[in-house]
Amino acid sequence: MKKILVTGSNGLLGQKIVYNLLDRGNFEIIATARGENRLKEKNGYEFVSLDITDENAISDVFEKHQPNVVINTAAMTNVDQCESEKEACWELNVIAVKYLAQASEKHNSHLIHLSTDFVFDGEDGPYTEGDEPNPLHYYAESKLASERILQDYNIKWSIARTIIIYGIVDDMSRSNLVLWAKSSIENKQTINVVNDQYRSPTLAEDLAEGCILIAEKEAEGIFHLSGPETHCILDLVYMVADYYDLDKSYIKPITSVSLNQAAKRPPKTGFIIDKAKEVLGYNPVGFREGIKILEDQIKEKEK
Ligand SMILES: NC(=O)c1ccc[n+]([C@@H]2O[C@H](COP(=O)([O-])OP(=O)(O)OC[C@H]3O[C@@H](n4cnc5c(N)ncnc54)[C@H](OP(=O)(O)O)[C@@H]3O)[C@@H](O)[C@H]2O)c1
């Protein structure tokens, strides 16, 4: 059986990948994360604590486990934190990817790496894999630099770019667009929502499936793995409010300029996902269906 190593297995995507792999049962799984294992399910895979900024630790883990495939989900994902902690961002989002590429080259592993719609400037979305990146902030620069690193090594590589992931983690420690909008309005808090940024939200389970399809099909190159619909963020929040029948007067439309964020966000991204559909058989759910899946998962947890 082929061995697959997942980095960042405590993260949102990392958790979904491990659970999907457990369901499939066609890979030997090595789940790795910084610190302790926070997955609720502890059986059916091997857990190894791995900080991917530690070059020696990566060497040791690859030496011991000889993975055929590696999926790197670990990253500094908070855009404004990347702006204020540039050194730490570069170390994790770029230098650590170099360590993984080096080890993948040495052990002949297929390296699948996660990237973002933010590599584009958002002037001309939705984007295909062939469109020209033009990052607007440090997080985006770091992710684009990491994409280029993969291409510098003599390895089998794949880049899975994605957009606004929504989903729940085992301990419900992470919020997302749906949970934030729902809980704020239910608590009668007015929320400011931008009306000039367009995105294709991605259900975490769909993204995990896409990454695993890349691994199974040994599909190389860049893949755009997002949800199938592109909407303005304001409209996404209205869709959440409609779904739960919430009072929309708590939603205050604003422009991006008024937010005054440290890192300027691209106005209109969104992906054209035809390549992933054709090559991988990727078939993500629409946003309304995704909200329903999330709701069912939360109900299941509350039982
Ligand atoms: N979330 C989005 O909307 C979005 C959009 C576009 C692209 N992406 C990309 O998709 C990927 C997955 O995102 P996500 O939302 O699943 O992120 P996430 O939930 O923040 O998970 C990232 C994981 O990386 C771990 N990590 C941090 N430093 C580490 C280190 N030195 N060594 C090992 N692990 C480390 C974190 O550990 P702790 O849990 O211990 O902090 C966390 O569990 C990332 O590459 C991200 O750039 C995400």
Look at residues 198, 201, 108, 227 and name the one whose alpha carbon lies nearest to residue 157: 108
Residue 100 lies in a domain: yes
Give the global pTM: 0.98
Does the Cβ of 34 fall within 6 Å of ligand 1?
yes
The answer to whether 100 touches 158, Cβ cutoff 8 Å, is no
Identify which of 5, 9, 13 to mutate to test ligand 1's pocket (most ligand atoms within 8 A of the CB). Answer: 13
Q: Which pLDDT value is given to residue 172?
A: 86
Structurally, how many domains does the chain consist of? 1
The angle formed by the CA atoms of residues 232, 235 and 241, to the nearest 5 degrees, is 150
Q: Which pLDDT value is given to residue 174?
A: 87
- Which protein residue's CA is at the shortest distance from atom 31 of ligand 1? 51
Which token pair is 269? 């991204």
Q: What is the pLDDT along the chain (303 residues), one digit of tens a residue?
A: 999 999 999 999 999 999 999 999 999 999 999 999 999 999 999 999 999 999 999 999 999 999 999 999 999 999 999 999 999 999 999 999 999 999 999 999 999 999 999 999 999 999 999 999 999 999 999 999 999 999 999 999 999 999 999 999 999 888 999 999 999 999 999 999 999 999 999 999 999 999 999 999 999 999 999 999 999 999 999 999 999 999 999 999 999 999 888 888 999 999 999 999 999 999 999 999 999 999 999 999 888
Q: How far is Cα 112 from Cα 212, in angstroms, rounded to an integer?
A: 9
Atom of ligand 1 nearest to the CA of 92: 31
- The amino acid present at 255, given as its one-letter code, is T
Q: Which pLDDT value is given to residue 263?
A: 84
- Can you point out the beta strands (E) in 23-135? 27-33, 46-49, 69-72, 110-116
Residue 293 lies in a domain: no
Residue range 208-263, pLDDT digits in tens: 999 999 999 999 999 999 999 999 999 999 999 999 999 999 999 999 999 888 88
Residue 256 lies in a domain: no
Q: How far is Cα 111 from Cα 155, in angstroms, rounded to an integer?
A: 7
Does the Cβ of 168 fall within 6 Å of ligand 1?
no
Q: Which pLDDT value is given to residue 270?
A: 98
Does the Cβ of 92 fall within 6 Å of ligand 1?
yes
Residue 127 lies in a domain: yes
Residue 71 lies in a domain: yes
- Domain carrying residue 23: 2-167+201-228+269-285
Q: Which pLDDT value is given to residue 261?
A: 83
Does the Cβ of 73 fall within 6 Å of ligand 1?
yes
Atom of ligand 1 nearest to the CA of 77: 47
Place of tokens 């457990």: 22
Residue 295 lies in a domain: no
Look at residues 74, 297, 119 and name the one whose alpha carbon lies nearest to residue 224: 119
Q: What is the CATH number of the domain that holds 210?
A: 3.40.50.720
Residue 247 lies in a domain: no
Residue 192 lies in a domain: no
Q: Give residue 10 CA to ligand 1 midpoint distance, Å.
A: 8
